[in-house]
Amino acid sequence: METIVTQELSRTDLRWNIDYRPERCTMCGSCVAACTINAIEVGVERRSMTLSRAAYPDPAREHMSRPVIRQRVSLSQACVGCGMCAKVCPNEAIRPVRNPDNRFAMLTRCLGPAKRGGRTNLNAQRTLDHIIVGRISQMTDPSLDSERHTFDIRAPFGRILLPEHLPLAIEGDSLKQIDRTPPVNWIYPLIFSDMSIGALSTRAWEAIALATAYLNEKCGLPFRMCSGEGGMPVKLMTSDKLKYMILQIASGHFGWNRILRALPHMKTDPAGVLIKIGQGAKPGDGGLLPAAKVAPHIQAIRGVPKATLHSPPNHQGLYSIEESVQKMHLSLSAAFGFRVPVAIKCAASATSVSVYNNLLRDPYRICGGFFLDGVQGGTGAANEISLDHTGHPVVSKMRDCYMAAVRQGLQGQIPLWAGGGIGMTGNAAADAFKMICLGANGVIVGKLMIQLLGCVGNEQGRCNACSTGKCPAGICTQDPRLVRRLDIDRGAQSIVDYMLTLDSELRKLMAPIGNSSLPVGRSDALVSTDRAVAEKLGIVYAC
């Protein structure tokens, strides 16, 4: 027998174990073929059994070799628990089981690459679940009919002016506009956010774009999608569907050559531009795209060779808040003739209020929105250390920013959008509504979108293989063999269907508090069952 040394890597060290039932297995091999991680293999086991093969008891001891499916003992091929083996098995003979006693975190740091990408598996607190919509219109004032009342569910993307700052003058009997106003687009209060071509497969990205256009054209819901920092498909830029897209520019400026070259050919303006300064999953770190995902078409769109792509942690050439407003907002506004609103996205941080205060002083009236991304934001490839240990919960930080604006009487002028963990438990409408009541104009969602496409990842360490290029759902990979697993139409249809439900759920929350338009800052509509949450957010405690 082989000698096993105690320090040898073993199955018990891995985060997921394969629960294999040989008596149910027909050796069809589907599980091995389906596993993208190559975490299981066909092997042979030696068995010693007492069997009776005759019609009467005739026990005999036999030694035999049996083919089996077994888990590979390897850190680079460790099972991620995606469950594709269980999904494909016709006989329920195999499934991954979480191993709470694993030593993975230590071992990968010693022997192999530490886990990257996916979502936070540590800071998955659900502040919003301690908040209830507790102020219902009954007899004090009428609640509305959620199904038939006309609701105005739109949020501003763009700089809003106070009434006294509107460039209006009275001329005779009419009001005349005597100067320019900043561009504002009124859009759905939920943006499909910031997942790049590259982080996502072409099909996954196109499915979201397709669903966005469908929701606008067939359902009359003004959803917008943000491109992420990986450029834009030229064909989309030269089509009239561009108007549903918010273009992102981040520190790597990937893809902007093609965007600029497409400018003369654009039939319509995009919905907006979002300057990404930072992201919640890895604040203080730039974008990361592992070489495994830099396929030829990604190389073409981004203008780079096959290599691991790092965006710098900050925009080079921006050294202060004032400068970022002046230079970035000005350049991007100018690129589209000052017709397209430009907003800025930062990772939520202890410094967010300072940044927002500074933006609020914006003398150029050019900042079209402040996007805050909390610690629960997802990522294609952030290092685990950033993912789990850096960032800031978004709920209280967004609230702090809103209240800072309220104290100056400036709320609503620079729309506040917040994300990072919105829809984590599957109900984005409830999360969005509570964030809006606390002061957000709208929310941004990313992980939810890929989950609607079929992503099986969760905050409890399942799958989260986004950085490896081995996404079992064909969503976060550029491997044509895996991308082909994703049905673009079915994926887009799921997004559409979910958003239609979300829209009716939002009405179901707006109606009982009696709001026809979004209740931005109506924190009186909320109560919290957690005293600390209530105190921090300035809402009523209830039990």
Partner 1 sequence: MLTIETLKTVNDATERMSTQDLLLSIEKAVTDGVTDFTIHASGQHDIGGPLWNTEGKPLSFLVTNPGQRVGSMCLENTEVTVEGSAPADVGWLNAGGKIVVRGDAGDTAGHCAAAGTIYIGGRAGTRSGSLMKHDPLYQAPQLWILENTGSFSFEFMGGGRAVVCGHGCESMPSVLGARPCVGMVGGLVYVRGKTDALPADATLEPLSSEDIAWLESGMEPFLKAIGRQDLLGTLSRWDEWHKIVPHVHEEKHPDIFSVAAYRNNEWVNGGIFTDVLADDFGVCGLVARGLYRQRIPVWDNARYQAPCEYNCPSSIPTQQRYNLWMALSACAFSPLIFHRSAF
Shortest Cβ distance from residue 205 to partner 1 (Å)? 8
How far, CA to CA in Å, does 152 sit from each of 146, 441, 469, 510?
Answer: 12, 13, 41, 10
Shortest Cβ distance from residue 33 to partner 1 (Å)? 4
Shortest Cβ distance from residue 488 to partner 1 (Å)? 5
Q: Tell me the torsion sign for CA atoms 349, 155, 406, 523.
A: negative
Closer residue to partner 1, CB minimum distance, 231 or 421: 231
Closer residue to partner 1, CB minimum distance, 19 or 217: 217
| 152-187 core/surface letters (b: 16 or more CB in 10 A; e: else) | ebbbbbbbbeeeeeeeeeeeeeeeeeeeeebbbbeb
Using alpha carbons only, what angle is made at residue 45 by residues 44 and 51, rounded to the nearest 5 degrees? 125
Please enumerate in sequence order all residues whose Cβ is within 8 A of that of 52, keeping only pairs 6 or more positions apart, or say none. 58, 59, 60
Shortest Cβ distance from residue 464 to partner 1 (Å)? 19
Say how many C-beta atoms besides its own lie within 10 A of residue 315's C-beta.
22
Nearest to 247 by CA among 235, 267, 233: 233
Q: Which residues pair with 383 in a beta bridge?
A: 116
Closer residue to partner 1, CB minimum distance, 30 or 127: 30
Shortest Cβ distance from residue 203 to partner 1 (Å)? 7
Residue 345 near residue 414 (C-beta atoms within 8 A): no
Instruction: Give dist(CA 178, CA 199) in Å, integer.
Output: 46
Closer residue to partner 1, CB minimum distance, 210 or 344: 210
Q: Tell me the torsion sign for CA atoms 427, 445, 119, 458.
A: positive
Q: Which residues pair with 482 in a beta bridge?
A: none
Closer residue to partner 1, CB minimum distance, 436 or 492: 492
Residues that bind partner 1 (CB under 8 A): 30, 33-34, 36, 84, 87-88, 145, 147-148, 202-203, 206, 209-211, 213-214, 217-218, 233-236, 239, 241, 296-297, 300-301, 472, 479-489, 492-493, 496
Closer residue to partner 1, CB minimum distance, 233 or 287: 233
Closer residue to partner 1, CB minimum distance, 45 or 217: 217
Closer residue to partner 1, CB minimum distance, 396 or 493: 493
Closer residue to partner 1, CB minimum distance, 389 or 484: 484
Judged by DSSP in three states, 347 sits in strand
Please enumerate in sequence order all residues whose Cβ is within 8 A of that of 37, keeping only pairs 6 or more positions apart, or say none. 77, 78, 79, 80, 82, 465, 468, 470, 472
Shortest Cβ distance from residue 491 to partner 1 (Å)? 9
Shortest Cβ distance from residue 288 to partner 1 (Å)? 22
Closer residue to partner 1, CB minimum distance, 208 or 430: 208
Q: Which residue has the tokens 């003992």?
A: 73
Instruction: Give dist(CA 88, CA 86) in Å, integer.
Output: 6
Structure tokens at 58: 């005739």
Shortest Cβ distance from residue 330 to partner 1 (Å)? 30
Shortest Cβ distance from residue 476 to partner 1 (Å)? 16
Shortest Cβ distance from residue 212 to partner 1 (Å)? 11
DSSP string for 114-165: PPEEE--SS----GGGGEEE----SSSSPPP-TTTS--B--EEEEPPPPGGG
Instruction: Give dist(CA 225, CA 234) in Å, integer.
Output: 16
* Burial (CB count within 10 angstroms: exposed 0-12, middle 13-18, buried 19+), residue 396: middle
DSSP strands (E only) in 303-433: 309-310, 342-347, 370-373, 379-383, 416-419
Instruction: Give dist(CA 151, CA 109) in Å, integer.
Output: 53
Closer residue to partner 1, CB minimum distance, 324 or 477: 477
Shortest Cβ distance from residue 239 to partner 1 (Å)? 5
Please enumerate in sequence order all residues whose Cβ is within 8 A of that of 543, keeping only pairs 6 or more positions apart, or say none. 529
Shortest Cβ distance from residue 235 to partner 1 (Å)? 5
Closer residue to partner 1, CB minimum distance, 9 or 28: 28
Instruction: Give dist(CA 256, CA 205) in Å, integer.
Output: 17
Shortest Cβ distance from residue 428 to partner 1 (Å)? 19
Closer residue to partner 1, CB minimum distance, 211 or 366: 211
